[in-house]
Amino acid sequence: MSLHGQSLIAGRRSAGGQPVFQAVSPLDSTTLEGNFATATEAEVNEALEAAKAAFPAFRDADGETRALFLEAIADGIMELGTTLIDRARLESGLPVPRLEGERGRTVNQLRMFAKIARENSWYDARIETAQPDRQPIPKPDLRRAMQPIGPVVVFGASNFPLAFSVAGGDTASALVTGNPVVVKAHEAHPGTSELVGEVIAAAAAKTGLPAGVFSMVQGNGRTVGPWLAKHPATRAIGFTGSLAAGRALFDAAASRPDPIPVFAEMGSLNPIVLLPGTLKSRPAETAALLATSATAGAGQFCTKPGIIIATEGEGLDAFRTALSSAFAAVPPTTMLHAGIAATYCKSSRKLAEHAALTIVGRSSAEADTTATQGSALMVETTAEKFLAHPELAHEVFGPFSTLVVAKSADEVTDVLSTLGGQLTASIFGNDADLASSAPLVSQLSEIAGRVIINGVPTGVEVNTSMQHGGPWPASSDARFTSVGTAALERFVRPVSYQGAPQTLLPPALRDCNPLQIDRLVNGVHTRESIQ
Amino acid sequence: MSLHGQSLIAGRRSAGGQPVFQAVSPLDSTTLEGNFATATEAEVNEALEAAKAAFPAFRDADGETRALFLEAIADGIMELGTTLIDRARLESGLPVPRLEGERGRTVNQLRMFAKIARENSWYDARIETAQPDRQPIPKPDLRRAMQPIGPVVVFGASNFPLAFSVAGGDTASALVTGNPVVVKAHEAHPGTSELVGEVIAAAAAKTGLPAGVFSMVQGNGRTVGPWLAKHPATRAIGFTGSLAAGRALFDAAASRPDPIPVFAEMGSLNPIVLLPGTLKSRPAETAALLATSATAGAGQFCTKPGIIIATEGEGLDAFRTALSSAFAAVPPTTMLHAGIAATYCKSSRKLAEHAALTIVGRSSAEADTTATQGSALMVETTAEKFLAHPELAHEVFGPFSTLVVAKSADEVTDVLSTLGGQLTASIFGNDADLASSAPLVSQLSEIAGRVIINGVPTGVEVNTSMQHGGPWPASSDARFTSVGTAALERFVRPVSYQGAPQTLLPPALRDCNPLQIDRLVNGVHTRESIQ
């Protein structure tokens, strides 16, 4: 493997500017091969102008072509084989099985969207036929279908170097309907990004699409981000990362002369509510399950359970004891990069000494700082203290969680009502608990995008029914998801055609239904042609 | 009729604060009956707290109850009879037939949404059933459906005192799924607003819904607007009006600690492109049609054609001559209120003297300023001059339009590319023109929400296929419409339920499909129960 370190602008390598940076492996703090040049403003502009120029052809390409493009990306990623997995491991510190699993998810997402492109099942086509004799005025022929919005900027996430990065869910869900994509590679895994970026560029060429449908720029988000967000051709932004960075992008997009939508997934506390029956009958098993969910992958999932709310009562001591043992047994784990580890280390040290918190359990082994390790930490407080200290409700990205002990169900409600928007919210209970939990589920559905019963929030299914996104600050727009088939709805808009002859209608709206899709015709769902 | 002049806070009249204002009739500049008290910040807070408190019950009410509520509003509006029409005429200056038509549209919209509430056809329910044996990990049961978002603030528009005001499209499309609404009554028609507001409050009481599902505050938008936009309970804003006011609301909402969506419909130039065949064969008929569309209702429609683009050639002189006559014959017409008339008068006078413009035609009769009249004005320029003077591309709200004469089809394209987002864009052409118009239609679909062939943009159908909303600045979010059934999509968000027992699922997602709705079950559309 040899890495060129350049940005990819519409299929062409571009030399870039300053600073030139290297990836550092969190596994041993060594500098990795490859000198990566930060993209210049001229390169960012070039990428977006090329995206804009490529848009009409990409928009008008048929579903089969877009499907083949997505499948060629999937094939190309698999063909990289161990080259990709090895580089991703060095850059992210994530273990090989996890990366192989993440690659599988990435490729499956691309193939899932390829299927949608091939089926043309995303148009939401609606047709109202004319009634020239209607009184008091004739009814016009009116037809409405979705179409892509134009160039989408995607910011790669550090914690999923494959599934939420260059060819991840944001990119796939933008490409599927014909939106060109410009990716800002995450600076923690520029080599992984380059490998995947080259695959996408090659797939575009192979599929006969204009090179401008994909570009990837290298560099720091604070430098390159504003150029991407402010460019007139940018029509939307997909982002996964911190609240601070997501807010900055949101504000930049909202302050444009023509504001554009930002789909920022900014993390979450993912509260878990333990009901009395579970605490009483399954304290140890539940503790083990939650400890694993909170510390797997060094707790670097946006769905990590960051707060566990239990009510005083039978089983709580056993639960706490089991949690303590489970956390003690978690080995310190390499985190994604030195910056994340330093922030985690500082936050967890501060919290370990917080007057309102006691320590339930922590990794018994010593962390190796050369291996960028973070130690697991579980702390405890009361609902009363939690409510008195708003700083305890901030997400800590890493293998950390807080047990909040309430005196009553009302206190549980009070704690939940202070949390703000969440990606997920979970309940553990036995049948008797759940029989009386409708009000609790109702409250959780107001604050979260996904409500889970007797399950952990980590592990996000990718299918038609997933909602990954919740009220602010979990994400910037709770009406959309960044995971699953519905993710494509972020990057389309409806257009109505009134009185148009057949030849001027998009295929989805023509009488003969050439795409053979389900349509709403005069209020009735049908795949029939219009006579 | 006697008007109390108070705000309606959760079913209760509330005395309000300063300033107290009166409506002035644009018909004769007289002050109308009724002293209206500007709502206080405490009243605004009370309205939103009541909305928040009423939300769970309204959300959980069944579709039949919401349908009855909407139908009771429609019935109540009709029962007001001439009392409502007379007051609306005095406050808006709009003629009785127009107001009766608008009342019909308002009532039809309410009944259309009542039908949707009764059918429960808005949930977009998706179900993925569990596969406990799936490798490498079990597939969980995951179910996703829409739910209402919570309190919605609606700003009444001046130009549709019924259809886009207190019980207009924004209100109906928020109420249909269970979102409480707080309306800011437009200060130009406070009496009309009070009459309709009382109807809604009575309908809520009659239907057994909590009073907090509806409140209406009186007052000036600059005073009351920020309180409404910034309140923590407000979940979304619907607005129709000027770009300046829409932008102010958008900025206020975007700068909240938790930004909320604003659906602002901010007007449009609604370009018309005349192709050579039409110009040659039907110059006079087309001129008459466009002159009517541009001047009907004193040009106070957001879909008024504000720019007509023609290419030099046969028929242009005849078209211009016919336009000139048609505009001369348009009588000066009472505008909605003195502020709109003054702004129009100033703008049109300035444009009539603009060096880059010549006058094609204007109302031959003299305007009566006591009757708040505006004179129709049609001006002309070349594409070259239009491109050199960006100020000519600003919307003028009133009976005004600009003919832009291009030298070539390329110049037409250049003019269109400078216009920004539009609600509508229209083409007039004969069969030969249209046969080669695919690129033009493609360009128009990028800038507009609705593309019209051989028809005028005024007259907005209310059905499944309408898109009323386009790229900025036509509206603040081109992915949504403010007219038609899809308007309700602005005020819902998806929530997924994972592993939930039947009793904790919303009815839309239960196995037995109690609502008998179409659902996507494991990727297939069906109304069947799940076994």
DSSP string, B518-530: -EEETTEEE-PPP
Q: Give the best residue of A179, A266, A493 to mutate against chain B (max B CB count within 10 A).
A: A493
The answer to whether the CB atoms of A144 and B446 lie below 8 A apart is: no
Give burial (CB, 10 Å; 0-12/13-18/19+) of B388: exposed
Residue in the structure block whose two tokens are 């007219």: B483
Element (DSSP H or E) covering residue B377 = strand B377-382
| Cβ contact A5:A36 at 8 Å | yes
**Tokens describing residue B325:** 């006559």
Kindly calculate the radius of gyration of chain A based on its CA atoms and give it in whole angstroms: 25
Among partner residues A136, A255, A467, which is closest to B144 by beta-carbon distance? Answer: A467
| Cβ contact A319:A274 at 8 Å | yes
Above 80 in pLDDT, residue B402?
yes
Of the candidates B279, B302, B332, the residue with the CA atom closest to the CA atom of residue B460 = B302
Does the annotation mark B102 as catalytic?
no
Element (DSSP H or E) covering residue A450 = strand A448-453
B486 touches A: beta carbon within 8 Å = yes
Contacts of A136 in chain B (CB under 8 A): 101
Distance (Å, rounded) from C-alpha A13 to C-alpha A34?
A: 15
Q: Which amino acid, residue A221?
A: G
User: What is the per-residue pLDDT across B40-63, written as a single tens digit (0 to 9) for each?
Assistant: 999 999 999 999 999 999 999 999
Strand partners, A448: A422
Contacts of B464 in chain A (CB under 8 A): 126, 128, 144, 520, 523
**What was the pLDDT predicted at B514?**
97
Q: Which residues lie closer than 8 Å to B399 by C-beta, 6 or more apart?
A: B294, B295, B298, B299, B330, B333, B363, B374, B375, B376, B377
Quote the minimal CA–CA distance from B369 to chain A in Å: 33
**Tokens describing residue A256:** 């444009």
Instruction: Considering the candidates A43, A302, A395, A411, report the single residue annotated as catalytic.
Output: A302
Of the candidates A31, A34, A32, the residue with the CA atom closest to the CA atom of residue A20 = A34
Above 90 in pLDDT, residue A240?
yes
Above 70 in pLDDT, residue A1?
no
- Mark whether A144 and A185 lie in a shared domain: yes
Contacts of A463 in chain B (CB under 8 A): 128, 142
Among partner residues A128, A435, A454, which is closest to B503 by beta-carbon distance? Answer: A435
- Mark whether B234 and B289 lie in a shared domain: no
Q: Which amino acid, residue A45?
A: N
The answer to whether the CB atoms of A495 and B451 lie below 8 A apart is: yes
User: What is the per-residue pLDDT across A22-76, written as a single tens digit (0 to 9) for each?
Assistant: 999 999 999 999 999 999 999 999 999 999 999 999 999 999 999 999 999 999 9
Mean pLDDT of all residues in B474-500: 97
Assign A195 to helix, strand or coil: helix
Among partner residues B463, B494, B523, which is closest to A128 by beta-carbon distance? Answer: B463
The answer to whether the CB atoms of B128 and A254 lie below 8 A apart is: no
B108 touches A: beta carbon within 8 Å = no
CA geometry: angle at A319 spanning A315 and A323, to 5°? 175
A466 touches B: beta carbon within 8 Å = yes
Share of chain A above pLDDT 70, in %: 100
Q: B376 lies in which domain range?
A: 272-453
- Mark whether A358 and A409 lie in a shared domain: yes
Contacts of B123 in chain A (CB under 8 A): none
Give burial (CB, 10 Å; 0-12/13-18/19+) of A515: buried
The answer to whether the CB atoms of B495 and A420 lie below 8 A apart is: no
B250 touches A: beta carbon within 8 Å = yes
Q: How many CB atoms lie within 10 A of CB B176?
A: 29
| Alpha carbon of residue B162 to chain centroid | 11
Confidence of residue A211 (pLDDT cuts 50, 70, 90): very high
CA atoms within 13 A on the CB side of B416: 28
Strand partners, A37: A20
* Closest chain B residue to the Cα of A143, Cα to Cα: B465
In a domain, A313, yes or no: yes
Q: How many CB atoms lie within 10 A of CB B21?
A: 18
Distance (Å, rounded) from C-alpha B436 to C-alpha A501?
A: 12
* Closest chain B residue to the Cα of A526, Cα to Cα: B525
The answer to whether the CB atoms of B504 and A445 lie below 8 A apart is: no
- Mark whether B384 and B250 lie in a shared domain: no
Contacts of A150 in chain B (CB under 8 A): 446
Task: Compute the mean pLDDT over every residue in chain A, rounded to the nearest whole number.
Answer: 97
- Mark whether B397 and B345 lie in a shared domain: yes
**What was the pLDDT predicted at A531?**
86
Residue in the structure block whose two tokens are 């491109």: B387
Which residue blocks in B296-337 are alpha helix, DSSP H?
A: 316-329
**Tokens describing residue A220:** 């720091």
Beta strands A236-240; A307-311: pairing state: unpaired
The answer to whether the CB atoms of B445 and A250 lie below 8 A apart is: no
In a domain, B434, yes or no: yes
* Closest chain B residue to the Cα of A438, Cα to Cα: B504
Among partner residues A147, A261, A472, which is closest to B258 by beta-carbon distance? Answer: A472
Mean pLDDT of all residues in B226-250: 97
The answer to whether the CB atoms of B472 and A142 lie below 8 A apart is: no
Give burial (CB, 10 Å; 0-12/13-18/19+) of A134: exposed
Above 90 in pLDDT, residue B531?
no
The answer to whether the CB atoms of A478 and B149 lie below 8 A apart is: yes
Q: Which residues lie closer than 8 Å to A470 by C-beta, 6 or more apart?
A: A268, A421, A422, A423, A424, A447, A448, A449, A450, A478
Contacts of A243 in chain B (CB under 8 A): none
Of the candidates A455, A251, A224, the residue with the CA atom closest to the CA atom of residue B255 = A251
Q: Which amino acid, residue B395?
A: E
Assign B97 to helix, strand or coil: helix
- Mark whether A426 and A485 lie in a shared domain: no
In a domain, A2, yes or no: no
Quote the minimal CA–CA distance from B165 to chain A in Å: 23
B259 touches A: beta carbon within 8 Å = yes
User: What is the per-residue pLDDT across A395-449, written as a single tens digit (0 to 9) for each?
Assistant: 999 999 999 999 999 999 999 999 999 999 999 999 999 999 999 999 999 999 9
In a domain, B64, yes or no: yes
Q: What angle in degrees, to the nearest 10, is found between the helix axes of A283-295 and A316-329?
A: 40
A446 touches B: beta carbon within 8 Å = yes
Instruction: Considering the candidates B265, B380, B395, B411, report the single residue annotated as catalytic.
Output: B265
Above 90 in pLDDT, residue A105?
yes
| Cβ contact A272:A307 at 8 Å | yes
Contacts of A289 in chain B (CB under 8 A): none
* Closest chain A residue to the Cα of B426, Cα to Cα: A498
Contacts of B142 in chain A (CB under 8 A): 461, 463, 465-466
Give burial (CB, 10 Å; 0-12/13-18/19+) of B24: middle
- Mark whether B230 and B352 lie in a shared domain: no
User: What is the per-residue pLDDT across A455-491, written as a single tens digit (0 to 9) for each?
Assistant: 999 999 999 999 999 999 999 999 999 999 999 999 9
Of the candidates B280, B327, B308, B291, the residue with the CA atom closest to the CA atom of residue B404 = B308
* Closest chain A residue to the Cα of B422, Cα to Cα: A495
Quote the minimal CA–CA distance from A55 to chain B in Å: 11
Distance (Å, rounded) from C-alpha A302 to C-alpha A281?
A: 29
In a domain, A26, yes or no: no
Q: Quote the DSSP letter at residue B168.
A: S
**What was the pLDDT predicted at A79?**
98
A320 touches B: beta carbon within 8 Å = no
| Cβ contact A273:A412 at 8 Å | yes
| Alpha carbon of residue A438 to chain centroid | 29
Contacts of A464 in chain B (CB under 8 A): 126, 128, 144, 520, 523
Omega before residue A56 within 30° of 0, cis = no
The answer to whether the CB atoms of A434 and B461 lie below 8 A apart is: no
The span from the first CA to the last CA of chain B, in angstroms, equals: 59
**Three-class DSSP labels, A340-399:** HHHHHHHHHHHHHCCCCCEEEEECCCCCCCCCCEECCEEEEEEHHHHHHCHHHHCCCCCC
- Mark whether A253 and A340 lie in a shared domain: no
Domain count, chain B: 2
Confidence of residue B136 (pLDDT cuts 50, 70, 90): confident
- Mark whether B227 and B358 lie in a shared domain: no
Confidence of residue B301 (pLDDT cuts 50, 70, 90): very high
- Give this complex's ipTM: 0.97
In a domain, A473, yes or no: no
Above 70 in pLDDT, residue B1?
no
**Tokens describing residue A446:** 């107001």
The answer to whether the CB atoms of B464 and A150 lie below 8 A apart is: no
**What was the pLDDT predicted at B230?**
97
Strand partners, A382: A405
Q: Quote the DSSP letter at residue B144.
A: E
Among partner residues A137, A448, A504, which is closest to B459 by beta-carbon distance? Answer: A137
Among partner residues B441, B461, B486, which is closest to A142 by beta-carbon distance? Answer: B461
Residue in the structure block whose two tokens are 């493609």: B442
Distance (Å, rounded) from C-alpha B179 to C-alpha B5?
A: 26
Mean pLDDT of all residues in A146-171: 97
CATH code assigned at A443: 3.40.309.10
CATH code assigned at A215: 3.40.605.10
Q: Give the best residue of A462, A481, A504, A524 to mutate against chain B (max B CB count within 10 A).
A: A504
- Mark whether A261 and A295 lie in a shared domain: no
Of the candidates A117, A144, A116, A107, the residue with the CA atom closest to the CA atom of residue A129 = A144
Q: Give the best residue of A58, A112, A465, A482 to mutate against chain B (max B CB count within 10 A).
A: A465
Which residue blocks in A208-337 are alpha helix, DSSP H?
A: 221-230, 243-254, 276-281, 283-295, 316-329
Distance (Å, rounded) from C-alpha A329 to C-alpha A323?
A: 10
Beta strands B519-521; B126-128: pairing state: parallel
Contacts of A58 in chain B (CB under 8 A): none
Distance (Å, rounded) from C-alpha A41 to C-alpha B70?
A: 54
Assign B256 to helix, strand or coil: coil
Quote the minimal CA–CA distance from A286 to chain B in Å: 16
DSSP secondary structure, A451-500, as one string: EEESS-S-S---STT-----TTTTBS-TT--SSSGGGGGGGEEEEEEES-
The H helix count followed by the E strand count for chain A is 15, 23
- Mark whether A295 and A407 lie in a shared domain: yes
Does the annotation mark A265 as catalytic?
yes
- Mark whether A197 and A286 lie in a shared domain: no
Of the candidates A199, A196, A160, A166, the residue with the CA atom closest to the CA atom of residue A181 = A166
Q: Give the best residue of B493, B517, B519 to mutate against chain A (max A CB count within 10 A).
A: B493
Instruction: Considering the candidates A198, A265, A395, A411, report the single residue annotated as catalytic.
Output: A265
Assign B512 to helix, strand or coil: coil
Distance (Å, rounded) from C-alpha A11 to C-alpha A202?
A: 8
In a domain, B468, yes or no: no
In a domain, B252, yes or no: yes
Distance (Å, rounded) from C-alpha B502 to C-alpha A172?
A: 34
